[in-house]
Amino acid sequence: MSEVTVVLSTPLARFTSGETKFHVPAGPFREVILHVYKRHPALRLRVDDGSGALLPFVSVYVGEDNIRDLGSLDTVVAPNSTVMIMSAVAGG
């Protein structure tokens, strides 16, 4: 099976029992993120707005590219790619 590596920022790990790196099947980003939510359901409330759109304070990178810059959440995530999901941290 073709997989991608998902890496989560440390603040999101509290919603995944501490897991910050794991693998899910490759495919369109919308499918990749659904696999992430299936593995860690609590993460969905912290990443998307319930309609599938990413929350404004969440950044997702496919390789070095911000998913928002790729023009569509239907962008295909190639096998062996890395998807990094990061949330903003408040404070100073």
Backbone torsion region of residue 81, taken as left when φ is above 0, otherwise alpha when ψ lies between -120 and 50, otherwise beta: beta
Q: Report the candidate in 79, 63, 12 with the shortest Cα–Cα distance to residue 42.
A: 12
Residue range 32-44: mean pLDDT, rounded:
96
Average pLDDT, the chain: 92
Q: For residue 8, what are its two tokens?
A: 């989560």
Beta-strand (E) ranges in 1-92? 3-8, 21-25, 27-28, 58-62, 65-66, 76-77, 82-87
Q: Report the candidate in 14, 19, 24, 8 with the shortest Cα–Cα distance to residue 59.
A: 8
Lowest average pLDDT, out of 24-28, 70-74, 87-91, goes to: 87-91
Of the pLDDT bands very low, low, confident and very high (cuts 50, 70, 90), residue 52 is confident
Predicted TM-score (pTM) above 0.85: yes
Of the pLDDT bands very low, low, confident and very high (cuts 50, 70, 90), residue 1 is low
Residue range 9-25: mean pLDDT, rounded:
95
Of the pLDDT bands very low, low, confident and very high (cuts 50, 70, 90), residue 67 is very high
